Each structure stands twice: as C-alpha cells, then as structure tokens.
C-alpha cells in the first residue's frame, strides 16, 4: 500500500466586494462577489491508513472537536467515496488531519476551504479519475463557497457562488485580517438584509496594480456589512481599529465578523498587525498577503 502523504493549505477566502443581487425560489441568495485568497489558512493533510481517522488540532480546534460528524472535511471524504463507489473505483481508508488556524464562522470561508483542500488531496491520494464537472457538482453539494475555494485564485463568483470567472491579472497585496472572536450566523445576516435586489458589481475587472485594485474595491461594496453590524457591533470596532492604521482600504469580509485592510507594503501591514494585536489581545489578528495572478 502506498503510504504517501499529501498536504495543502486551505487558503482563507476574502470577499473584497459582495453584492446580493436577488434570491431564488429555493431561498438561495444570488450574489456577485470579487474574491481573493490569502497565503494564510488552515493546513489539511492526509495519508493512507488501516482505518479512517480524523484529527483537528491548532488554535481553533476546540470548537470543532465537539461535533466532528458535521465537519465539511468528513462530508467531502464521504462524497468522494460515494462517487468512487458508483464508478467502481477503489478508495482506501485515510487518516486526515486539520490544523485549524482560522476562526470558525468568521466570514473567511474556513470550512469551505478545508473541504476544497480535502477534495484535492484525496483525489491525488486515491488517484481518482474525476472530471472537472463531476468535481464541481460534488463541491457545490458541500456548500456554495466550496467551488470557488477549489480554485483558490482571484475570481468573480456569481449565481449562488458556483459560476466562477478567474480574474487576470491580480496584484499580490499585503493584508491584515481581524476577527473579534464573535461568531456570526450567515443566515441571520442575510435575513437582516433589507433589500435583496441590489446593483451588480461594476463591469470592469481589469486590475493592473495595487492602486487599481483599491479603486475597484471602493467602487463596489459588501451588502452584508450593515446588516452584520446590526447583529454584531464588534464588527464596527474591528473596522475602527483597522482604519486607525491608515490602510489603503478596510472592509468586512463575507457575512462577518472578520474584517480586512489592504496595505501597499509589508512593513505597514506588520506594523498594523502589531498595533491592533497590542490594543486587542483577545482578537484574532493576522498579517499575510493575497495570492496574486499574472
């Protein structure tokens, strides 16, 4: 039996802009979102084993260890096993580990990124012959954010998140992530959104450099920011803390409560991280960079 082990970073997902443009009859919201991924994230690894096992460790493992059955990594594994079984393909037991570095329910796509990384790892580990279309269907069944996390590249997501167009070029940018350690329920935030029919993203997604990226972000918005703040006032505290560091821009990501700020150089980002971490030692604060695309 091949005992090779594979490991991937489950890159944090940042909604640089998020427009809610409608709602389907089944309740799913239609979105248009400019999405980028950070170098920082959870770490997923897997290797063949005598029996299936799953271990979560790291700074934010405790909250997930209490109910592993609902973890998207396990659901991703089981979905691939079912696919392989239907195709008559073998799958051996695997030992999967997750180093949980991202806060839970934070608006950074941690669970979806974990599932996407698990899918990519297990496909390699089992040498599964699976088409892009079949993989996309499995990913979407796991969650609306999982297909974009499979890409982990700058993109625009539309529909419920499954229609993806990669953005090229895209500058690698310095970013600071902040979370007040308060979980925010995405359904609650969407329910608090007063208008479901909002204007789409601005049409041009040509991003030649940092200044153009900032301009594009400022031309657009996060429709969930106001309803999220109405549910979680700590989001305003995070934004205020970021703005005090003089970033190029600052905004909430996804449905919250995580916020981000972009900086033109790494030194400014590191100084901002230190300032916020010193003033708010109970918060999650991380300096990293957005993954670029030439």
Neighbour tally for 121: CB within 10 Å: 24
User: How many Å apart are CA 152 and CA 10, to the nearest integer?
Assistant: 8
Judge whether 274 counts as a catalytic residue: no
Structure tokens at 1: 């039996």
In 3-state terms, what secondary structure has residue 33? Answer: strand
User: How many Å apart are CA 294 and CA 291, to the nearest integer?
Assistant: 10
> Exactly one of 145, 223, 237, 268 is catalytic; which is it?
145
- Stated as kind and residue range, the H or E segment containing 275 is helix 266-279
Strands 53-57 and 94-99: parallel
User: How many Å apart are CA 6 and CA 108, to the nearest integer?
Assistant: 23
Judge whether 145 counts as a catalytic residue: yes
> Exactly one of 13, 75, 100, 273 is catalytic; which is it?
13
Neighbour tally for 267: CB within 10 Å: 10
Does the N-terminal peptide bond of residue 169 adopt cis geometry, omega within 30 degrees of 0?
yes
DSSP strand E in 211-283: where?
A: 249-252, 259-263
Task: Lay out the sheet containing 284-289: strands in order across.
Answer: 249-252, 259-263, 174-179, 284-289
Distance of CA 287 to the CA centre of its chain: 16
Residues carrying an active site annotation? 13, 145
């Amino acid at each position: 039996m091949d005992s090779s082990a594979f490991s991937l970073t489950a890159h944090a997902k940042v909604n640089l802009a998020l427009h809610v443009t409608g709602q389907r009859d089944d309740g799913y919201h239609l979105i248009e979102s400019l999405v980028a991924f950070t170098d920082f994230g959870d770490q997923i690894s897997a290797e063949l084993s005598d029996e299936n096992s799953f271990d979560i460790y790291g700074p934010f493992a405790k909250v997930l260890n209490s109910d592993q059955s609902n973890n998207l990594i396990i659901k991703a594994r089981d979905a691939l096993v079912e696919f392989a079984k239907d195709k008559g393909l073998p799958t051996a037991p695997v030992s999967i580990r997750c180093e949980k570095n991202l806060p839970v329910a934070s608006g950074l796509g941690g669970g979806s990124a974990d599932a996407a990384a698990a899918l990519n790892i297990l496909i390699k580990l089992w040498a599964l012959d699976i088409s892009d279309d079949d993989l996309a269907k499995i990913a979407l069944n796991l969650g609306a954010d999982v297909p974009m996390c499979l890409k982990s590249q700058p993109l625009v997501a539309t529909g419920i998140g499954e229609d993806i167009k990669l953005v090229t070029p895209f500058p690698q940018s310095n970013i600071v992530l902040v979370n007040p350690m308060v979980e925010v329920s995405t359904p609650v935030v969407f329910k608090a959104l007063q208008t479901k029919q909002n204007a789409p993203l601005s049409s041009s997604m040509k991003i030649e450099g940092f200044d153009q990226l900032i301009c594009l972000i400022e031309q657009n918005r996060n429709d969930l920011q106001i309803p999220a703040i109405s549910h979680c006032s700590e989001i305003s505290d995070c934004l205020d803390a970021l703005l005090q560091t003089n970033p190029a821009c600052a905004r909430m990501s996804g449905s919250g409560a995580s916020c981000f700020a972009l900086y033109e150089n790494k030194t400014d980002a590191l100084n901002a991280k230190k300032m916020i971490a010193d003033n708010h030692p109970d918060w999650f604060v991380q300096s990293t960079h957005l993954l670029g695309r030439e």
